A and B are shown apart, each in its own frame.
Chain A
Amino acid sequence: MLANVGVGENSLERDIVDYALDLARSKKVEYAEARAQSTNHDELVIKNGTLDAFLSTIDSGFCVRILADGGLGFASTNKWTKDEAKEIVDTAYKFAKIAGRKDRITFADEKGVETKWSVEQKEKIEDIPPEKKIDELMEVDKTLSSQEVKVPGRIMGASINLIEKYFVNSEGSIISSFVPKIGVFAFITVVENGKPEQAYKQFGRSGGWEAFNEWKVAEALLHDAKALQKLIKEGKAVKPGKMDLVCGTEVTGIASHESCGHPIEADRILGREMSQAGRSFIYLGGPYWIGTRIGNDKVTIVDDPTVKNSYGYYEYDDEGIKARRRYLYKNGIINEFLQNRETAAKLGTRSNGSSRSISYDREAIVRMANTFLLPGDWTEEEIIEDVKYGIYMKSFTEWNIDDRRFNQRYVGREASLIENGELKHPVARPVIETSTKNWWSAVDAISKEVGYDAATCGKGDPMQGVPVYTGGPVIRLKEVYVK
């Protein structure tokens, strides 16, 4: 059974995409590609126990990107006609030619690839009727609202996508892919003694509906609700000062994403995102570059699109480059940037398959996939037992980082005091505000188990929120300032 409204009405018309590429190649171009995408999208939102709305749609269209005279042009449409294909090819070509750059854009060399890839589903999303999607999400809300903990504010939603892509370029690449992707988010407000506390949680995966039950969403949200209730009842402020800070996997993950993944994006390093997402503390001629120490030698952070069934999973990127694990910080040293073909050419290297686009109408740019710190040899219990005085920040609420990705702040949501190796009372919103170098240099213990959290990474103009995992083990930061 096909659940989506519009099914059968829109699909990828490959002959039109091929036609667009042929038209582009017939012009004086250095490079051309055509990329089509069709997304069957279901989205439902449940607000305080009632289904607000059910959106079901299909969005499909195609784009061309042309490199001509050292300039880039891009145009897209959702109208599947040859006339429209001609119009967007002409537009993209015209835009490439008017760039008038002093230094010409080039792409790092690659050979054409012909392949197909897909992600398997145990429970096919196409077979799940809409009423089951609604019922299962409603059940989560019911569980949450029927407990002794008061959760007067509850909003949760599911975003279910079947994404089909078709990519061809002037170097002979022909790549087809199919990825089912499912995401759930929840934002809850717990009130106790008239005081509110809030938590946001996100789940995501590439694969079938089986993920929904594997996540145990209700259990996870109930845990958060109870932790917030306990925080309101028993939470005490932290006495500001230097202490050990043990970070849960969620906190390790966000720090890996923000202060390693983002500053290592080559387009940011080269300035292409300077007026939006910003630049990087890493730049040519600056104090940090490949080979510079940025953290303790225990610290190795990777970005890996090939983690099976991950939210950021892909086998080929949106420039047709094969995906692989990238070692960003290796043993505390800046090791490798995330590259697309344009940045790789500028930096004299090869693309490492980091080019992603959220839709047919958005340019592919350098993005993370799944960014996480590699495990160490401690257990979580050993780390806590080894702390004389400190804080265990299991999860976070407010966070932010400057646009060089150096000055960052994380505020604990579920946090406890540690005294003589034992967890004590909850701590109300402990804050660490420090630099990237201080953070990764202070890591002196890393647990064996890596945990992942789904997130939507924001970058690009117009904004392209791409699905990613953030992750890592439990870590200890030795003697850092917490307030």
Chain B
Amino acid sequence: MSEILAKTEAIAKKGKALGADEVIAKTIFGRYRQTRFSNNQIDITVAWNDYVTDVALAWNKRLVATQIRNFQNTDRIMEQLFNLAKVSKENPMYGGIAKGTFKYPKPNADKKLQELENPSAYVIEAIEAAKKEAGTEINAGGILFTKYEDVYLVSSEGPAGQDARSAIELSIRVFSQRDASGHSVECCSTLKDFKPFRAGEKGGKIAELAKNPKQGEEGKYDLIFDPLFFGSMLGTWGGMASAYSVMIQLSVFVNKLGQKVASDAVTLRDKPAEYSVNNRAFDDEGFPIQENAFIENGVLKTYLHNTSTAKIFKTKTTGNAGLVQPTPWNIEMDSGDLSKDELFGEVKRGLYLTNTWYTRFQNYATGDFSTLPRDGIFLIENGEIKQSWKDLRLSDNILRLLSQITGISKERQHVHWWLEAEPPSLSPYVLAKDIQMTRPK
């Protein structure tokens, strides 16, 4: 057992010795690096080192939590935490944490991502690729982010394990004109698969196509979503599949288990696989992560659970425990049988939407919402991109959007971007019919 794992275990044992019913301690030593750039130049490179142990402690169905950052006197902190539990209130819904011992796969983290020799080289590679597509006069901005985390978890209920998680992400937005832009990302868990030029190239291509946009026309359209845009929608559905969201009505999936919630073409899974920037071996209870198809051929099959919510819904944990509530890790949409070009060929008159932001709801329970497409918006006629448009808003219902999906591409891209395409996903090009677009008046 490593020294840090032993220290983490000591924290959990101390909680138990004080009289706690259950204790989980999770230590993360994280090294995070980010290079921010705009106007084709590097603005700043930042580094943050974080040393923290998250502790959750339950006593008589009272759940309390803390984060330890000073490891000189962990006993005293645990005593204070236990005292807090004693004056806290009972949560009758609390159903315990995962029990048992589990085997976890060996971590696949890339040690090269602890510290890149020259992060700016990747940024320059992406900008140069964009210039090849959209010309030297472009204005590009974005971030290059790397993560390397050593994770140690010990639960009083048996689970104990070690994980290492790494990621590298590049996000680049390319402006070919003031109101013409393209955005793309390159996200990997290891350096070997990371190709920054791909993001620059795609962002540049969209920016070039987006030149001289016309005011968009309000109406109902068949829409083709780029993987980056659709990653944002997948993240929304993933969040709504959390049993916690269901319990507080922040979801369109309330009381819909076993029901048809999407077209037959739709299968959505939560799966923090090796390729994902959010990959992991176990959840925050130490339960091994698993693949959960929460929508299968259009039918809602399960919510995403921790041990407590699983008990409430009379089922088993799905390995989605965060410290307090279940959370999606990485959403995958099953691929379809059409190529991207074939998918475009299905559209007589419609729009290709490349990215979006600011998704907001009138009502999470009914799903009425709007989201603002940004970067390239293109009119498609007879399968071909005909014109660049601007200033349109997708204003419809997110449950209806699921039911209007008629085509899914074979190609999929791993996307993650800021708060918008979050959590990360494996996202295809998607065709949805007859969706309402509005514009300002």
Contact = CB atoms under 8 A, between A and B. Distances in A.
B70 A9 contact: yes
Contacts of A48: 247-248
Contact of B89 (A8, A50, A403, A434): A50
A235 to B, nearest CB: 13
B49 A77 contact: yes
Interface in A194-242: 196-198
Given A56-B66, A398-B362, A78 B52 contact: yes
Interface residues of B, number: 85
A262 B324 CA distance: 34
A378 interface: no
B2 interface: no
B81 interface: yes
Contacts of A102: 41
B51 interface: yes
Interface in B78-135: 80-81, 84, 87-93, 118-120
Interface in A78-104: 78-80, 84, 87-88, 91-92, 95-96, 98-103
Contacts of B73: 9
B280 interface: no
B6 to A, nearest CB: 19
B361 A398 contact: yes
A50 B360 contact: no
Contacts of A438: 440
A433 B47 contact: no
B369 A189 contact: no
B261 to A, nearest CB: 17
B47 A76 contact: yes
Interface centre among A9, A60, A131 (most CB of B within 10 A): A9
A155 interface: yes
Contacts of A45: 324
Given A78-B52, A155-B248, A433-B441, A271 B38 contact: yes
Interface in A421-438: 429, 433-435, 438
Contacts of A276: 143, 418
Interface in B355-408: 357-366, 368-372, 374, 391, 393, 395
A456 interface: no
A286 interface: yes
B43 A272 contact: yes
A134 B248 contact: no
Nearest to B63: A53
Contacts of A77: 48-49, 51
A407 B391 contact: yes
Interface stretch (B154-162, B169-177, B337-345): B169-177
B44 A74 contact: yes
Contact of B178 (A84, A98, A286): A286
Contacts of A6: 66, 68-70, 77, 80
A12 to B, nearest CB: 12
Contacts of A154: 248
A130 B88 contact: yes
Contacts of A63: 48
Nearest to B83: A5
B237 to A, nearest CB: 18
A461 interface: yes
A291 interface: no
Contacts of B42: 71, 98-101
Contacts of B72: 9
B422 to A, nearest CB: 10
Contacts of A197: 363
Contact of B172 (A73, A99, A275): A275
B297 interface: no
A400 B438 CA distance: 13
Nearest to A286: B178
B299 interface: no
A411 interface: yes
Contacts of B65: 53-57
Contact of B77 (A9, A88, A187): A9
A427 B172 CA distance: 43
Contacts of B250: 187
Nearest to B441: A481
Contact of B440 (A72, A79, A409): A409
Given A196-B365, A397-B363, A55 B64 contact: yes
A61 interface: yes
A413 to B, nearest CB: 8
B140 to A, nearest CB: 8
A91 B370 CA distance: 43
A274 B173 contact: yes
A112 interface: no
Contacts of A58: 69
A272 B84 contact: no
A400 B358 contact: yes
Contact of A363 (B46, B120, B173, B395): B46
A318 B282 CA distance: 39
Given A91-B47, A102-B41, A271-B141, A52 B173 contact: no
A327 B47 CA distance: 35
Given A98-B45, A196-B363, A274 B91 contact: no
A7 B80 CA distance: 9
B45 A433 contact: no
B412 interface: no
B143 A401 contact: no
Contacts of A56: 64-66, 80-81, 84
Contacts of B64: 5, 53-56
Contacts of A31: none
A278 B374 contact: yes
A53 B324 contact: yes
Interface string B205-223: 0000000000000000000
A103 to B, nearest CB: 7
Contacts of B91: 50-53
Given A91-B47, A401-B372, A411 B362 contact: yes
Contact of A95 (B47, B175, B439): B47
Contacts of A164: none
Given A95-B46, A403-B357, A129 B369 contact: no
A14 interface: no
B28 to A, nearest CB: 12
Contacts of A386: none
Given A5-B77, A77-B48, A198-B363, A103 B41 contact: yes
A129 B83 CA distance: 12
B27 interface: no
A60 B69 contact: yes
Contacts of B183: 275
Nearest to B119: A98
B141 A274 contact: yes
B67 A57 contact: yes
A401 B370 CA distance: 10
Contacts of B63: 52-54
Contacts of A403: 357-358, 372, 374
B158 to A, nearest CB: 22
Contacts of A189: 248-249, 365
Nearest to B171: A275
B366 A196 contact: yes
A328 interface: no
A451 interface: no
A128 interface: no
6 contacts: A55-B66, A100-B42, A131-B88, A138-B89, A363-B44, A409-B440
Given A5-B66, A57-B66, 6 more contacts: A5-B80, A54-B63, A63-B48, A91-B47, A198-B363, A270-B38
- A-B interface, 6 closest residue pairs, ranked by CB to CB distance from nearest: A153-B249, A95-B45, A275-B173, A400-B358, A274-B141, A189-B249
Interface of B: 34, 36, 38-39, 41-52, 56, 62-70, 72-73, 76-77, 80-81, 84, 87-93, 118-120, 139, 141-143, 171-173, 175, 178-179, 183, 247-250, 324-325, 357-366, 368-372, 374, 391, 393, 395, 418-419, 438-441
